Amino acid sequence: MRWTYTPPSAGQVEALSSLAGVRPVIAELLLRHSLADREAASRFLHPRLAALADPFAVPHLKAAAQRLLRAINGREQVVVLGDYDVDGVSSTTLLVGFLRRFGLAPRFIVPRRAEDGYGLSMSAIERALEGGLPALLVALDCGTNSYDEISSLLERGVDVLVVDHHRLREEEAASQETAHASAAAAVVPAAPESGAEAELSGRPRSILVNPHIQVDAGQLDESYRNFCTVGLVFKLAHGLLKLLREQGHPLASQVRLRDELDLVALGTVADLVPLLGENRIFAKHGLKIIEETRRPGLRALMEVAGLPRGQPLTPVDISFRLGPRINASGRLADASLSVELLLSEDPVFAEATAQQLDQFNRERQEIERQITEEAERMIEADYAQDQGIVLYSEKWHPGVVGIVAGRVTRKYNRPCVVLGNDGELAKGSGRSVTGVNLVEVLADCAAHLESWGGHPMAVGVALDKQRLTAFRENFAKAVRAHAGADASEAELAISAWIEPEEIGEAFMAEFGALHPFGQGNPEPVFGVRGVRLAQAPAVFKDLHFRFQLADRNGRRLYGVAWKMADRLPPTGARLDLALKLSWNYFRERKLLQLELIDWHLSEAAPE
């Protein structure tokens, strides 16, 4: 692994350190986010809820809020259809729970992956309408590309509200915005910027809230495009609450939107959107609300995931503990179970359902382990030289291949699409690496695909099995074109160099203000030069090892290296270490822990 380090100027570091009142290492990390003045640094280090922008600055959101206000005032029947991933589940939970507080009884469904496919499909719509035609159907985290399906609903007299953040799938258009204007304007017409309820009545109509399609950013900067769907739903709830308060609704003053940020944090972190701007505010405050959550379902889920009440949470806890369990029902059964869990006020139901999701997750892990092993064997045998990898097997479960795609992408540092068997189709998911936008890559391969969509880092794909070979070749070629260099060459960017003597409780307190880490705000990797291990590394579980090193004052620092037991550093030699720093909570104790990412023999001159 090649280490890279590009230092900012010493003058900039010194100036920001003085202006912001932070130590130079923290100033260097802030400068990597282009936060070069005290005000910008303060906003980043201390994100405040008061800094959230007017929700009506999101294009078309006011029209969407007005349509929901009309539904509340008219006690209309509403159906909410949300996607089956964590973003869709948390979005559905937030909106359904919010509308219930104002007297509506919305039905909700989540597409069944095996039966309905992704999103606002005709199959999912027919299930949604089994209880009768509603006045309004709200599609969450899907629907941007569902022109025919929306037309069908409008023809039946159903208004449609789409809240989504997926890109437009229109590869022949000059741009996403042009594609929407040309292909979808008749189905999802531009909503009015303002107007009375009368403007929203009359013939059935549809309203689209999607910052990736609508570029008139209003009062918001470009960061508004970083919202995932649950972030948009939170803004929608905020806008609706403003309208209800203006109307004098008796319950509007009792609602604390802050309490919904646990759901917002779940979807925002799990959906791999950048944790910058308002998303950073959502995640920072939402993680704290999750720690003390009052939702019986979320509390029960945390217990089965081994997250004790009150322990500080990080995005990793969502990504690897809570998120997979929420996703598990959608992968192997019906994701509506996860929505029911998060909505439930019944502790008994919550405990039983959380246990059920945990069991689904265990089954998913075993299936995923087997597929991952097979996938890695395929790569080593046949695709080791491909810069973009496409894998398929008739035996693989389409519901778990996305996780496998993520694993092999990280291991081989190359974009990867993993496909399973779905009748005549090969269906699955793709994951990418930094610098390669999978939406753009798949646009170059669209002639081979039945359907596709998603985000730059994660996509869903379906194609006729007869086109697998052509797609594989086209995908590898497109990745090469977009990567511009050898994407498989692993690099490790050192964020800052640090002395072991600096690493301590005071530093960690200051460093903690940089949390939460995630997409757009990656966890810093610190370099430490010329240290020796205090004793031989201790291997455990045949895969990992623990290690110790001493600073110049003789103080011991303790660390762990995951899945590196096959590459133990020598005890007597001087080493350069690449480390992450965190607190480890164990049996009510809080311990400073170094996590070893990589090591090299030091090139520093010997003593």
- How confident is the model at residue 268, as a pLDDT? 96
Where is pLDDT greater, at 4 or 195? Answer: 4
Q: Is the pLDDT of residue 185 over 50?
A: no
d(CA 374, CA 376): 6
CB 116 within 8 A of CB 366: no
Average pLDDT over residues 342-363: 96
- Cα dihedral 146/438/213/188 (nearest 10): -10
Q: Is the pLDDT of residue 182 over 80?
A: no
d(CA 560, CA 541): 13
Q: Is the pLDDT of residue 184 over 60?
A: no
- How confident is the model at residue 486, as a pLDDT? 56
- How confident is the model at residue 169, as a pLDDT? 62
CB 355 within 8 A of CB 304: yes
CB 492 within 8 A of CB 525: yes
Handedness of CA 503, 508, 511, 516 (dihedral sign): positive
Q: What is the pLDDT of residues 11-67, one digit of tens each?
A: 999 999 999 999 999 999 999 999 999 999 999 999 999 999 999 999 999 999 999
Q: Is the pLDDT of residue 464 over 90?
A: yes
- How confident is the model at residue 72, as a pLDDT? 98
The amino acid occupying position 577 is L
d(CA 452, CA 443): 9
- Cα dihedral 538/491/434/463 (nearest 10): -80
Least confident of 111-120, 176-185, 280-289, 513-522: 176-185
Q: Is the pLDDT of residue 436 over 80?
A: yes
CB 166 within 8 A of CB 455: yes
Residue owning tokens 């069908």: 152
Buried b (16+ CB within 10 A) or exposed e, 436-445: bbbbebbbbb
d(CA 216, CA 35): 26
Average pLDDT over residues 505-513: 96
Where is pLDDT greater, at 350 or 403? Answer: 350
- How confident is the model at residue 183, as a pLDDT? 33
CATH number of 385-491: 3.10.310.30
Where is pLDDT greater, at 54 or 185? Answer: 54
| Dihedrals phi, psi of 377, to nearest 5 degrees | -65, -40
Handedness of CA 520, 523, 526, 532 (dihedral sign): negative
d(CA 287, CA 369): 29
Report the share of the chain in percent with pLDDT over 70: 91
- How confident is the model at residue 194, as a pLDDT? 36
Average pLDDT over residues 469-473: 96
- How confident is the model at residue 222, as a pLDDT? 67
Where is pLDDT greater, at 333 or 441? Answer: 441
CB 163 within 8 A of CB 91: yes
pLDDT band at 192 (very low <50, low <70, confident <90, very high): very low
- How confident is the model at residue 519, as a pLDDT? 87
d(CA 57, CA 277): 15
Average pLDDT over residues 583-593: 86
Q: Across 35-150, where does the E strand assignment appear?
A: 78-82, 107-109, 136-140
Q: What is the pLDDT of residues 282-323, one digit of tens each?
A: 999 999 999 999 999 999 999 999 998 878 999 999 999 999
Q: What is the pLDDT of residues 249-283, one digit of tens each?
A: 999 999 999 999 999 999 999 998 999 999 999 99
Q: Is the pLDDT of residue 199 over 50?
A: no
- How confident is the model at residue 200, as a pLDDT? 43
- How confident is the model at residue 177, as a pLDDT? 38
Q: Is the pLDDT of residue 500 over 90?
A: yes
Kindly state the helix (H) or strand (E) to which residue 206 belongs, with its residue range: strand 206-209
Q: Is the pLDDT of residue 428 over 80?
A: yes
Could you tell me the two tokens for 575? 């080493």
Average pLDDT over residues 126-149: 95
- How confident is the model at residue 221, as a pLDDT? 62
Neighbours of 398 (CB within 10 A): 22
Could you tell me the two tokens for 140? 């969450």
Q: At a CB cut-off of 8 Å and minimum separation 6, what does 99 contact?
A: 68, 71, 72, 78, 80, 106
Q: Across 399-525, where does the E strand assignment appear?
A: 416-422, 425-431, 451-454, 458-464, 491-493, 496-497
- How confident is the model at residue 485, as a pLDDT? 55
Q: Which CATH class is domain 494-607?
A: mainly beta
Average pLDDT over residues 417-438: 92
The amino acid occupying position 269 is V
Contacts from 172-176 at CB under 8 Å and sequence distance 24+?
Answer: 176/212, 176/213
| Dihedrals phi, psi of 203, to nearest 5 degrees | -65, 155
- How confident is the model at residue 403, as a pLDDT? 86
Least confident of 15-29, 97-111, 163-177, 444-458: 163-177
Q: What is the pLDDT of residues 525-558, one digit of tens each?
A: 999 999 999 999 999 999 999 999 999 999 999 9
Average pLDDT over residues 414-431: 93
Q: Is the pLDDT of residue 189 over 50?
A: no
Compute CA distances 178 → 185, 216, 228, 344, whole Å: 10, 13, 22, 43
What is the architecture of the domain spanning 51-253? Alpha-Beta Complex (3.90)
